[in-house]
Amino acid sequence: MANKGALRVGTLALALGVGLVLAGCGSRQKTERTPTPDVTRTEPTIPSDTGGGVPDTGTEEIKLYELSDIHFDFDKYDLRAGDRELLTNHGKWLSDNSGVKVLIEGHCDERGTVEYNLALGEKRARTARDFLVNYGVSADRVDIISYGKERPLDPRHSEDAWATNRRCHFAKR
C-alpha cells in the first residue's frame, strides 16, 4: 500500500514538473491577444438612414436583412406609398437571395367579425404577394396566410394599437 501512495505522489510531482517546464518554455515576449468577434449575434444591423430598406454596403448586412412589416389603413388592402417602397426593397433582397422563401401573414385590427377580418387579411397578404411577384420574385417562393384579428401584435384597444395590428408580416422560410 505504501508503494502505491508513493507512486501516486511521484506521478503527480512529475506531471506538475513537466507542466512548469512547458509553461516556462517559449518566448518571454508579451503578446497581445486580439479579441475574437462575437459570432453568436443574430440581430440584424440595418443602417438607420435606410428606413428599413436594403442595405447598400457589404454582403453580410444583406444576409441579415429584415423583412419589415407593411401597414394598411382601416378597412383597406391597397398599398400606401411608403409600403410600396418597402416592398420594392423586399423584392430586391428576395431577388438577390433566391434560396429564401417567404410567408406573408395578413393581419387586421380587432374591429369587425372573425370572417370579415380573415377575408381582409387574405386580401392584404395577396396584395403584398402580387406586388413581389410583379417585381420578379417567383410566385412559388411566396405563400400567404390570413390570421385576421386572431394574432394582434399590440393587444391594447386604441387607435395606435389598431394601426399597428393592420399589417402584413413577412416570415423567412
pLDDT at 64: 78
pLDDT number for residue 59:
47
C-alpha cell at 118: 380573415
**CA nearest neighbour of 50 among 62, 35, 38, 40:** 62
What burial class does residue 87 get, using C-beta atoms within 10 Å of its C-beta: 0-12 exposed, 13-18 middle, 19+ buried?
Answer: buried
| 3-class DSSP state of 156 | coil
Which grid coordinates are listed for 57? 454596403
CB 111 within 8 Å of CB 162: yes
How does pLDDT run along the chain (173 residues), one tens digit per residue?
A: 555 554 454 554 444 454 444 444 444 444 444 343 333 333 333 333 344 444 444 445 446 789 999 999 999 999 999 999 999 999 999 999 999 999 999 999 999 999 999 999 999 999 999 999 999 999 999 999 999 999 999 999 999 999 999 999 999 99
Question: Which has the closest alpha carbon to 169: 121, 105, 108?
Answer: 105
Parallel, antiparallel, or unpaired for β 102-107 and 142-148? parallel
What is the strand order of the sheet 70-71 is part of? 70-71, 167-172, 102-107, 142-148
CATH 3.30.1330.60 fits 69-172, yes or no: yes
Report the C-alpha gap between 35 and 16 in whole angstroms. Answer: 30
Alpha helices in 97-155 (DSSP H): 114-135
Please give the pLDDT value at position 116: 98
Give the pLDDT confidence score for residue 3 in this predicted structure. 52
Domain ranges in the chain? Answer: 69-172
